[in-house]
Homo-oligomer: A and B are copies of this chain.
Amino acid sequence: MANERVGNSDDLIQKLVAKLKPRDSLSADEVAALRNSVSEVRDYSARKTMVRAGDPLSSSMLLVDGFVARYKDLANGQRQIMEIHVPGDFVDLHGLLLKRLEHNVGALTSVRIALFPHSELKRITETEAHLSRMLWFSTLVDASIQRETIVSVGRRDALARIAHLLCELFVRLQVIGLADEDGFALPLTQSDLSEATGLTSVHVNRMLKTLRDESLLTFRNARVTVHDFERLKRVAEFSDDYLYLERRER
């Protein structure tokens, strides 16, 4: 599964288009402009650092397959994951304007990405006002997801925090067709969840047991099975408003 040529770029941006289309109209030309901007496809193995904080950046990565995290490491060795990315997400589009990132980006699983050179993206910002706004929009949805994480980590108790994160992933994976009725594949460890929720892995383990005992959801064998989504949403105080999934016209 080595790197391959940019043959079926069609597939590469399919999940991105699946996310953008329902929210705003996207012309065939715009889809083509995106597709033509991919310079390279790259694979990373699980646990690989993809972008290190501070590195100068000259391209941005669209996640095609796998799970990616943005995270920071603290002096005492603790790690905080700020956002978990799913296929169809740009993982470091922020770097287009920031020129560097203040955080790391790492593969949680083995991962495939499509590379968009900043030169191409910059050309889009100069010539394609609408498409450019859609890219901006996608960074704003990231920001919104991150704000919801502040609420979780700041105010929700451990059980609700985990429930909320899994509700969010459920919905985000549904949008790109990677979830089914009753759950989704989630090849992460409990330690990953603890880093995303600001808890210890021991406590995540206990809370997962509670969720199981309460017949809310089961996380086992890299799969989340949701037993009662309505009740789970209530426990998490989850509403998908902050994902901005509804249509907004150009």
Contact = CB atoms under 8 A, between A and B. Distances in A.
A150 interface: yes
B98 A140 contact: yes
Instruction: Indicate how many identical chains form the complex.
Output: 2
Task: State the main secondary structure of chain A at its contact with B.
Answer: helix
A82 B147 contact: yes
Interface in A96-138: 97-99, 102-103, 125-126, 129, 132-133, 136-137
A15 interface: no
A155 B97 contact: no
A47 to B, nearest CB: 20
A66 interface: no
A154 interface: yes
Contacts of A129: 125-126, 129, 132
A212 interface: no
Interface residues of A, number: 47
Given A129-B125, A129-B126, A151-B72, A99 B248 contact: yes
A26 interface: no
Nearest to A137: B97
Nearest to A234: B75
B70 A147 contact: yes
Interface stretch (A37-45, A213-221, A236-244): A236-244
Interface in A142-172: 142-144, 146-151, 153-156
Contact of A143 (B54, B139, B244): B139
Interface of A: 53-54, 70, 72, 74-75, 78-80, 82-83, 94, 97-99, 102-103, 125-126, 129, 132-133, 136-137, 139-144, 146-151, 153-156, 197-198, 237, 241-242, 244, 248
14 contacts: A53-B241, A74-B151, A80-B155, A82-B147, A94-B140, A97-B133, A98-B140, A102-B148, A102-B241, A125-B132, A126-B129, A129-B129, A132-B132, A136-B136
